[in-house]
């Protein structure tokens, strides 16, 4: 039973990261109307920026974390005009051209990371950030968590709650959801479409940057290929939940995290990806439109 | 502004307005005027350009030629969100409510640009439409056609508009509900809202409006007081089946 509880807690940390990534992806899909499946690669890029700044400043946590978050916001906002140019021309979700743009962006980032930073070797985040060296911060029976993992869990859950609060309780969130349901109708009630789209880039940038820091703490390392791996998972989660389904993404994201943690706890970590994908494969065969229905 | 010199004040003036979608000329030099406090109806068949005209006034379509003045100020070329902030709100054809969102969320979307007074506006709207109050936590997709039309009108009121554009409110509604909707529009007008209405239910629309314009293939072919249009033999023949 203790193993189970321990793994569920670990799974919640991992799951919150999936939820943040999937919701960022869905927001861009729904509000900015782009298929940005390289969004997780942007997140990994921000992990690298945080790592570089940590190295340059002698592990100044404030500067490192800020640099990671700011770089994701900036990268999202800088690329927004390209995506918006296409969106303005087409006025609808244009899967083909935004996908090519996103794919290109992802390849450039991955190539850059594998050639120019740390000679392409995986990077390891300092103990000052991850708290690994301190040993267990929280210990109940066999359940033990490092300070970093504990922090990542709490911050991850707060961010997921905050994000859904923004989506369902604020003016901007209401505009996001209205544009997501009917962009043309949203225009007719006077919602500023491009401005709101831009806000969604900024919000997802902030989410991406924060997720990057959480991943740095939780995983302790990153490699150029991490973005691709996460990209596949995020795409799979959002399709299985139902493309654009925010609540579905929340449930499936958390479930995937817990599932992977349980496989690691009871079987072996090396198989957790394969098991996750087998289960997702079955889910998509049974419900091709996603477990909770597409919202597009 | 020249109209002000002659003592009449127009809240909306559309002059020589042309709009095309690609090679299709949707509006070909349209002139209409609405006085403050008036209900004016656009009548005409499908494809005559009524919806194009309303949406162009709202700033959705690109204008090829001509101008639109609202309260004496030129609004042609402004974006839809700017025009909504200036005080024009559209009740779209087919209601245009967001069916996955609650009644309350739909209403708040109408007040997007001014949420400060939203609470008291919502109370006002709920006192006029008690049925919406009963359903405020339901998603709009569960409402009946008449309730959705009320929601779309109530959402317009949430923006504190000076002028409401109403596109084909009677479409797809039962005759009794249609009467209710026209009564609502008349009441709103008596509270001081100027209304520009497009309608295919010509008899009821003319009974409710002060003046009317007849549109055919992107042109205004006739404009007159409602009684005159109701008594016009050609209108009776073409639109009233008499």
Tell me the pLDDT tens digit for each residue of B16-61.
999 998 888 899 999 999 999 999 999 998 889 999 999 999 999 9
Q: Which of A71-80, A147-156, A218-227 has the lowest mean pLDDT?
A: A147-156
Residues 6+ apart with CB under 8 A from B25: B18, B19, B218
Report the pLDDT averaged over residues A188-217: 90
- Check whether A32 has a pLDDT greater than 80: no
- Average pLDDT for A238-258: 89
Under the banding of pLDDT at 50, 70 and 90, the label for residue A34 is confident
Question: Which residue would you say has higher pLDDT here, A37 or A175?
Answer: A175
Instruction: Write out the H or E segment, with its range, that includes residue B219.
Output: strand B219-225
B196 vs A92, higher pLDDT: B196
Tokens of B45: 């068949």
Return d(Cα B57, Cα B47) in angstroms, integer.
17
Neighboring chain A residues of B78 at a CB cutoff of 8 Å: none
Distance CA A68, CA B170 (A): 55
CA distance A176 to chain B (A): 11
For residue A164, name the pLDDT band (cuts at 50, 70, 90): confident
Cβ of B89 within 8 Å of Cβ of A182? The answer is no
Cα–Cα distance between B26 and B20 in angstroms, integer? Answer: 5
Number of neighbours of residue B232 by Cβ within 10 angstroms: 17
Mean pLDDT of A154-162: 87
Question: Residue B24 class from Cβ within 10 Å (0-12 exposed, 13-18 middle, 19+ buried)?
Answer: exposed
Mean per-residue pLDDT, A28-32: 80
State residue B5's pLDDT score: 47
Least CB–CB distance from A187: residue in B60, B105, B113: B60
What is the arithmetic mean of pLDDT over A83-96? 64
Task: Tell me which range, A188-197, A255-264, B34-43, is most confidently predicted by mean pLDDT.
Answer: B34-43
A-B interface: how many C-beta pairs under 8 angstroms?
Answer: 60
- Is the pLDDT confidence value at A4 over 50? yes
Q: What pLDDT is recorded for position A50?
A: 96
Of B80, B90, B105, the CB nearest to A174: B105
All residue ranges of chain B with pLDDT < 50 are: 1-6
Q: Is the ipTM of this complex over 0.95?
A: no
Quickly name the fold that domain B2-87+162-239 has.
Answer: Rossmann fold (3.40.50)
Helices A147-169 and A193-219, axial angle in degrees (round to 10):
160
Give the closest of A177, A185, A191 to B81, CB-based.
Answer: A191
The mean per-residue pLDDT over the stretch A262-270 comes to: 81
Task: Give domain limits for chain B.
Answer: 2-87+162-239, 98-160
Q: Confidence band (pLDDT; 50, 70, 90) for A134? A: confident
Structural domains of chain A ordered from first start: 2-286 (1.10.3470)
Looking at residue B216, its pLDDT comes to: 92
Identify the contact set of chain A against chain B, taking CB-CB distances under 8 A. Answer: 171, 174-175, 177-178, 181-182, 185, 187-192, 195, 295
The residue among B114, B112, B80, B86 whose CA lies nearest residue B11 is B86
Kindly determine whether residue B92 and residue A185, on different chains, have CB atoms separated by under 8 Å. yes
Task: Go through A48-60 and write b for each residue having 16 or more CB atoms within 10 A of its CB, e for each that does not.
Answer: bbbbbbbeeeeee
Structure token pair of residue A200: 């969604």
Of A174, A175, A185, the CB nearest to B96: A185
Rounded to the nearest integer, the mean pLDDT of chain A is 86
Model confidence at A93: pLDDT above 60: no
């Amino acid at each position: 039973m203790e193993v189970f509880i321990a793994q569920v807690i670990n799974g919640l940390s991992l799951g919150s990261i999936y939820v943040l990534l999937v919701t960022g992806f869905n927001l861009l899909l729904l509000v900015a109307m782009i298929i940005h499946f390289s969004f997780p690669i942007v997140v990994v890029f921000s992990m690298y920026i945080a790592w570089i700044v940590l190295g340059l400043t002698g592990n100044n946590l404030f500067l490192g974390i800020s640099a990671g978050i700011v770089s994701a916001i900036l990268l999202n906002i800088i690329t927004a005009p390209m995506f918006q140019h296409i969106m303005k021309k087409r006025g609808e979700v244009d899967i083909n051209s935004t996908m090519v743009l996103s794919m290109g962006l992802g390849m450039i980032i991955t190539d850059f990371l594998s050639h120019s930073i740390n000679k392409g070797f995986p990077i390891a985040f300092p103990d000052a950030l991850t708290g690994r060296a301190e040993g267990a911060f929280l210990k109940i029976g066999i359940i033990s968590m490092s300070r970093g993992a504990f922090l990542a869990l709490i911050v991850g859950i707060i961010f997921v709650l905050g994000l859904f609060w923004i989506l369902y309780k604020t003016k901007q969130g209401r505009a996001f959801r209205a544009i997501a349901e009917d962009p043309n109708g949203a225009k007719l009630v006077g919602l500023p479409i491009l401005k709101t789209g831009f806000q969604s880039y900024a919000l997802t940038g902030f989410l991406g940057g924060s997720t990057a820091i959480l991943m740095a703490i939780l995983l302790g390392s990153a490699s150029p290929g991490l973005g691709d791996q996460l990209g596949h998972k995020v795409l799979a989660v959002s399709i299985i939940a139902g493309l654009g389904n925010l609540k579905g993404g929340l449930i499936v994201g958390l479930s995937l995290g817990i599932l992977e943690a349980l496989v690691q706890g009871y079987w072996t970590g090396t198989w957790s990806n394969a098991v996750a994908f087998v289960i997702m494969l079955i889910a998509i065969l049974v419900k091709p439109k996603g477990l909770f229905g597409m919202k597009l | 502004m020249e109209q002000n010199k002659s003592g009449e004040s127009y809240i909306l003036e559309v002059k020589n307005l042309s709009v095309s979608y690609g090679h299709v000329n949707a509006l070909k030099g349209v002139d209409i005027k609405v006085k403050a406090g008036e209900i004016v109806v656009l009548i005409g068949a499908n494809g005559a350009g009524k919806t194009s005209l309303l949406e162009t006034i709202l700033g959705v379509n690109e204008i090829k030629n001509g101008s639109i003045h609202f309260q004496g100020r030129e609004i042609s070329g402004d974006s839809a969100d700017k025009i909504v902030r200036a005080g024009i709100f559209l009740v779209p054809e087919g209601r245009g409510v967001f069916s996955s969102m609650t009644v309350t969320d739909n209403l708040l979307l109408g007040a997007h640009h001014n949420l400060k007074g939203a609470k008291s506006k919502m109370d006002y709207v709920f006192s006029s439409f008690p049925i919406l109050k009963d359903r405020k936590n339901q998603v709009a997709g569960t409402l009946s056609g008449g309730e959705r039309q009320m929601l779309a009108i109530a959402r317009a009121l949430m923006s504190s508009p000076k002028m409401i554009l109403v596109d084909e409110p009677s479409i797809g509604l039962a005759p009794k509900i249609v009467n209710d909707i026209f009564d609502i529009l008349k009441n709103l007008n008596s509270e001081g809202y100027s209304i520009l209405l497009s309608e295919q239910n010509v008899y009821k629309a003319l009974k409710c409006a002060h003046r009317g314009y007849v549109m055919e293939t992107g042109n205004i072919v006739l404009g007159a007081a409602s009684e005159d249009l109701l008594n016009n033999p050609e209108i009776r023949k073409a639109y009233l089946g008499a």
